[in-house]
Structure 1
Amino acid sequence: MEDQWLADYEAAKQTAADTLQLIQERNLKYPEGGPEASRITATCRRKLGTLGGLLDGLRTSLEGPQLEGLTEAERNRRRDLLSELRSRRESMLAGLRREAPAAARGVLLGGATTGGSSGALGGSRGETDTTAELGNRGLLMLQSQVMQQQDDALEQLERSVHSTKHIALQINEEADLHNRLLDDLDEDVEGTSSRLAAAQRRLKLVMRRSSGCKASLLLFLVALVLVVVLVIGFKLAIHL
């Protein structure tokens, strides 16, 4: 059965990707603002509000009893996924603040924001040799590349976890099979022991009966010898 938590997480991640695309479209097409830029900004704010609700729901369900079967390692992995997505949401909220170009560049570089959140470029602060040569549009493209690299790394981690999960399930199935074989072996041993005990009882009975028959045969032979002796003695007595 599909993991509903992971399905909800994928929906939240898709919402974040759609919002980021809208922000980049607004910044690239309408750098000076205007009605269309305001419309896109309002749409992005609504999406980020929805994303915040999804993240809160995911966090609540992750700590709730419905996922109590998760291992601690898997639970921590999912907490990291939520933390990464929440940081991305905060970065996009910062990117929506259409301030002066210098301030906007500071947001893109990961400088201090009103909410004190990490920047879009992995939380780095200040100019670097790479960003110093880029304009705001170049910074947006670099931001997109960094976030895509993060997505790829998370997807690779997720595939590794799923592969480990499948291996664990196969090991569990093998262990169950071996347990069933051991149970069958125990039943066979118990059956063999029962049959052996019955055979021993029958053997003892036969031996007892055989002992009785030998005594009767011996008495019969003794009686027969006595009869023969008497007959011979009687015949000799007649002849004499």
Structure 2
Amino acid sequence: MEDQWLADYEAAQQTANETLQLIQERNLQFPEGGPEASRITATCRRKLGTLGGLLDGLRTSLEGPQLAGLTENERNRRRDLVAALRSRREQMLASLKREAPRAARDTLLAGSGSSGGLAAAGAGGRETDATAELGNRGLLSMQQQVMQQQDDALESLERTVVGTKHIALQINEEAELHNRLLDELDEGVEGTSSRLAAAQRRLKLVMRRSGSCKTMVLLFLVAVVLVVVAVIGFKIAVHL
């Protein structure tokens, strides 16, 4: 059982060393924070949680009957080992908490930068003179103002688009009405053309017929004249 306690302690110590290495790596490679730094921070918190459970188990084992064969000096030495490891854990937790405001600030700045540059924060979430004077609450308020401005701008754009849509619909209705009128005008022109052609055909027929009548009238008049001449000649011959 003693060997198992030492094995558990070695595992806890290894976890603490790995966590410390991760924190140092994060601070060296990602001093300005960012997504990768946040990922490492989350991993460190999980490892520290595991470490806390291991330390609780080690402490409980020292106070239980499982290690009754240990001398008091050895038991105290192991208590000191657990306490030292717990102290390291608390220091690493404190280190992560000290970095949290900076990470949160970087996140807020990134959010302001990604919102179209309407806020005083610089593009890409860089610190500016305006944001340097603000705390995290001020940055959050600035970001909310930017988001509200964007919402107002989008609502105004929506109203403009809706108004433009109504105008376009009215123009479309007017165009359809004009097209119908043009279609009706085309039909009227076609009908008029047909009626005009028919009238022209009738006029030509009447003119042809009128020409035949004139010829007959002339022949009739000639015949009448001949008859009159014949009658007159006959009367003259009788008187002679």
When normalised by structure 1's length, the TM-score is: 0.51
The 2-side partners of 1:118 and 1:134 are apart by 15
CA displacement at 1:106 relative to structure 2: 1.9
Aligned to 2:168: 168
Distance (whole Å) between structure 2 residues aligned to residue 233 and residue 120 of structure 1: 126
Q: 1:215 — aligned with what?
A: 215
| Runs of at least 5 residues in structure 1 that lack an aligned partner in the other structure | 1-98, 112-116
Identity, in percent, stands at 77
Matched residue SS, 1:134: coil
Query: Structure 1 residue 199: deviation in Å?
Result: 0.7
Deviation at 1:203, TM superposition (A): 0.7
Q: Distance in 2 between matches of 1:138 and 1:132?
A: 10
Task: Indicate the structure with greater helix content.
Answer: 2
Number of equivalent positions: 137
Q: For the residues of structure 1 that align with 2:184 and 2:116, how far apart are their CA atoms? A: 61
CA deviation after TM superposition for structure 1 residue 149, in Å: 0.7
1:131 maps to which residue? 131
Asked if structure 1 preserves the Cα contact closer than 8 Å seen for 2:113 and 2:126, the reply is no
Aligned residue runs from structure 1 range 34-45, under 5 A: none
CA shift, 1:119, in A, is 5.4
CA shift in 2, pair 1:227/1:142, >3 Å: same
- 8 Å CA contact 2:109, 2:125 repeated in 1: yes
Cα distance, 1:102 vs structure 2: 2.1
Q: Is the 8 A contact 1:110 1:124 kept in 2?
A: yes
User: Which ranges of structure 2 fall in alignment gaps of 5 or more residues?
Assistant: 1-98, 118-122
Q: Is the Cα–Cα contact under 8 Å of residues 108 and 139 in structure 1 kept in the other structure?
A: yes
Q: 1:106 is matched with which residue?
A: 106
| Deviation, structure 1 residue 147 | 0.6
Separation of aligned partners in 2, 1:134 and 1:120? 18
Deviations 1:125-179 (A, max 9, x none): 2322222222222222111101101111122222222222223222222222222
5 Å matches for 1:60-209?
100-110=100-110, 122=117, 124-209=124-209
1:212 maps to amino acid? S
Deviation at 1:121, TM superposition (A): 8.3
Aligned pairs for 1:2-13 within 5 A: none
Runs of 4+ more than 6 Å apart: none
> Counterpart of 2:103 in 1: which secondary structure?
helix
Matched to 1:179, the amino acid is: N
CA distance in 1, matches of 2:102, 2:148: 25
SS at 1:130's partner residue? helix
Instruction: Output the CA distance in 2 between the equivalents of 1:179 and 1:194.
Output: 22
Q: Distance in 2 between matches of 1:105 and 1:225?
A: 130
1:119 to 1:107, Cα distance in 2 relative to 1, 3 A:
farther
- On the 8 A contact 1:109/1:121 being kept in 2, the answer is no
The answer for the alignment partner of 2:9 in structure 1 is none
Q: Which residue of 2 aligns with 1:75?
A: none
The 2-side partners of 1:211 and 1:186 are apart by: 37
What is the alpha-carbon distance in structure 2 between the residues aligned to residue 120 and residue 235 of structure 1? 129
Higher gyration radius (CA): 2
Q: 1:120 to 1:234 in 2, by over 3 A?
A: closer
What SS does the aligned partner of 1:138 have? helix
TM value normalised by structure 2: 0.51
